[in-house]
Amino acid sequence: MTTPEIKALISLLDDPEVAPHIEGQIQYLGESIIPFLEDSWQESLDPQQQERLANLIHQLQFEGLQQRLRVWREGGAADLLEGMWLLNTYQYPDADLQALNRAIEQLRHEAAELLVPGLSPTDQVQALNYVLFRVHKFAANTQHFHSPANSMLQRVVESKRGNPLTLCVLYLLVAQRLGLPIFGVNLPNLFVLIYRPAEGPPLYINCYNRGLVLSRTDIEHYVRQLNLTPNDVFFEPCSNLDIVRRALRNLQFSFEKLQERGKAEEVAALLGILE
């Protein structure tokens, strides 16, 4: 369709008799029509029309996100950054993947300068801790633990505050680019990382506590405190798919806490795509 034809189509939304049919046509056109809808929203002086346009924009963006999430899953969920960025676009459709990539690359560059040859695994972890938690001052968002922003990697990078999962994801993305054998671990109630050296016992890293290094015994003690039966899942690496699923569950719970049921249901639908 030409630009005049698209604008004419959108203008028909003012007519209540044909609006439902026009909305169906607009949804068929997909996300490419969003800029025109946004222009109409800005030009409109009718609050009801603005709400109708805003709902259409959201529907189109949400349908596009669902499709991109399916493609990511079906492609093997190989890129963790992409998966977390897709989650990010639920709240922030204009989130810039390349800007996130640059931020992580800058952290990698700073950490690489400290990782001189011959460092022990513990010293390598301390080098990453220094860059993330002392230089850049990333920290736990204890004041607003259930804020949806804690599940949005873009917001975590901007605010320097996050929940256990997003702080671990940031750390993990930097570590992976440095070639370190660090992976995520799906502990109940707390997401941590594991450093698996070629020789010697693994180290566990609690990013919610500024990169505190733990032993397997510490993890076993934590599991016992929760009165849970030990499970390999609590000690071994999980997949990128597991991580993004958990991030979506956290986001769903945040919206439920805020009593934003519509958003919680939409996030549940996104989670269903990955399960």
Tell me the backbone φ, ψ of residue 110, rounded to 5 degrees.
Answer: -65, -40
pLDDT the model gives residue 205: 97
Task: For residues 32-36, give the mean pLDDT.
Answer: 78
Q: How far apart are CA 247 and CA 80, in angstroms?
A: 12
Q: Element (H or E) spanning 66, and its range?
A: helix 47-74
What Cα–Cα distance (Å) separates residue 3 from each residue in 20, 99, 120, 168? Answer: 21, 31, 61, 46
Q: How far apart are CA 56 and CA 182, in angstroms?
A: 42
Look up residue 37 and give its two tokens: 């809808």
How would you list the strands of the sheet with 203-206, edge to edge?
A: 182-187, 190-195, 203-206, 212-214
| Mean pLDDT computed over every residue of the chain | 91
pLDDT the model gives residue 114: 96
pTM: 0.88
pLDDT at 1 over 70: no
Closest by CA to 247, choosing from 113, 80, 135, is 80
Band of pLDDT at residue 15, cut at 50, 70 and 90: low
Residue with tokens 């603005």: 50
Most confident of 7-11, 13-17, 126-130, 199-203: 126-130
Alpha helices in 75-161 (DSSP H): 80-91, 97-112, 121-129, 153-159
Band of pLDDT at residue 227, cut at 50, 70 and 90: very high
- Decide: 36 and 10 in contact? Cβ < 8 Å: yes
pLDDT at 11 over 70: no
Sign of CA dihedral 57, 58, 62, 65: positive
Look up residue 119 and give its two tokens: 């460092």
Q: How far apart are CA 139 and CA 190, in angstroms?
A: 15
pLDDT the model gives residue 40: 76
Facing residues of 193 across strands? 184, 205
pLDDT the model gives residue 12: 64
pLDDT at 28 over 90: no
Tens digit of each residue's pLDDT (9 = 90 or more) over 69-127: 999 999 999 999 999 999 999 999 989 999 999 999 999 999 999 999 999 999 999 99
Band of pLDDT at residue 37, cut at 50, 70 and 90: confident
Band of pLDDT at residue 268, cut at 50, 70 and 90: very high
Band of pLDDT at residue 47, cut at 50, 70 and 90: confident
Tens digit of each residue's pLDDT (9 = 90 or more) over 162-187: 999 999 999 999 999 999 999 999 99
pLDDT at 9 over 90: no
Residue 38: helix, strand or coil by DSSP? helix
